[in-house]
Amino acid sequence: MPAQEYLPFSPPCIGEDEIAEVTATLRTDWITTGPKTKQFEREFADYLDAPGALALNSCTAGLHTALATLGIGPGDEVITTPMTFAATVNVIEQVGARPVLADVEPDTLNIDPARVEAAVTPRTRAVIAVHYAGHPAELDALRALAARYSLALIEDAAHAIPARYQGHTIGGGANPVAFSFYATKNLTTAEGGMLTGDPDFLDRARMISLHGMSRDAWKRYDKGGSWRYEIVYPGFKYNMTDVQAALGLWQLRRLAEFQQRRRAVIARYQAAFGAHEEFQLPVERAHVEHAWHLYVLRLRPEATDVTRDDLMAGLAARNIGASVHFIPIHLHPYYRDKYGYAPEDFPVAYDAFTRMISLPLHPRLREEDVERVIDAVLDITAPVRLPKAA
């Protein structure tokens, strides 16, 4: 039987409107940061009902800029989760602060507020909460902690557009929230990101994100602009381009359509895998709206002898893309060796990692693709399901 065509894990969903917008931008005088970037910032802030938005070249840039704008540096500590991509923790190292890890909740895999509080010391300056897989972290508890201990709360919302917490869109508040528009995300600009928050904070962040200059290129080179500028901080080169923003404008307009398809795929996955006790399904708590960036399925070792690596290999053999989100931070050599971590130091994150797999999830999935994934997972696990206890 011939092999089926490869089913990618999470390809971008780019339409003719995006292509036309990018092409039109390439025919203008502005392809770097300019009017399209400003328009994207406005429309993104309006979509989230955010007080302001700053377009950047990545979510990593947003997190790094936020820490620098807050003045966090050597001698400070920042609490975050081990269940995240390395960028969340790398930026803490980059500003010279110490990352302090707090374990996660067993169901959502978001940072556990009780463990955050236990990790607070007199050196703690901030908490970076990651909205894992698109499920919002428990913001009410984290905000209360931040207020109690005079900490900044930064949100890593790389997975979380357009998630909601208690009816409010993630990114709609005054605290810094960083979004990712990487190629696999719910909304893409190929590479790119956005930082939302208080307008005064974003004014400082904008300067820091572009070399620490007192004027950006548009203000210097557009008609009526002035060539004069001053460097007031040793800043970064993190600006978004108008070419990226042109792509983002149409992706934002199509986001509701994308999310409707994602939720349809999720409903099919949940129904199919929920009928089998060897799987632990992802959750959506009643007071949130999940962005469903990832569908993270966990195997139950008490119900099956199949391992995560068996399942990954089986899907690969069937030409189906899958991934693991994430290898916990404390297992990576740099952090393990520098801070002396052992795998069991964060037992919830470590246990979840050993059992998890991210299945294909994107708007381009056809019904037959979804059925193919479901059939493959059930077929791989079927021969080794353990009998129920008497």
pLDDT digits (tens, 9 = 90+) for 351-375: 999 999 999 999 999 999 999 999 9
Distance CA 21, CA 25 (A): 6
Q: Known catalytic residue: 185?
A: yes
113-152 per-residue burial string, b: 16 or more CB within 10 A, e: under 16? bebbbebbeeebbbbbbbbbbbbbbbbebbbebbeeeebb
Active-site residue, from 185, 219, 223, 388 = 185
Give the DSSP H or E segment for 270. Answer: helix 255-273
Instruction: Give the pTM.
Output: 0.95
- Span 159-190, pLDDT tens digits: 999 999 999 999 999 999 999 999 999 999 99
Range in 26-30, 218-222, 271-275 with the lowest mean pLDDT: 218-222
Domain spans of the chain, in order of start: 16-253, 255-384
Residue 355, pLDDT score: 98
Residues 6 or more apart from 241 whose CB is under 8 A from it? 31, 32, 33, 37
CATH architecture of 255-384: Alpha-Beta Complex (3.90)
Interval 271-278 mean pLDDT = 97
Which percentage of the chain shows pLDDT scores above 70? Answer: 95
Residue 390, pLDDT score: 47
Distance CA 239, CA 216 (A): 10
Give the DSSP H or E segment for 298. Answer: strand 295-299
Residue owning tokens 């949940």: 270
- Span 313-328, pLDDT tens digits: 999 999 999 999 999 9
Q: Let me know: does 67 contact 92? Beta carbons within 8 Å.
A: yes
Tell me the CATH number of domain 16-253, given options 3.90.1300.10, 3.90.870.10, 3.40.640.10, 3.30.420.40: 3.40.640.10
Q: Let me know: does 127 contact 119? Beta carbons within 8 Å.
A: no
pLDDT band, very low/low/confident/very high, at 3 (cuts 50, 70, 90): confident
Residue 221, pLDDT score: 54
Residue 388, pLDDT score: 58
Residue 180, pLDDT score: 98
27-62 per-residue burial string, b: 16 or more CB within 10 A, e: under 16? eeebbebbebbebbbebbbebbebbbbbbbbbbbbb
* Residue 200: HSE in the Cβ half-sphere, 13 Å Cα cutoff: 1
Phi, psi of 387 (to 5 degrees): -65, 150
Residues 6 or more apart from 327 whose CB is under 8 A from it? 353
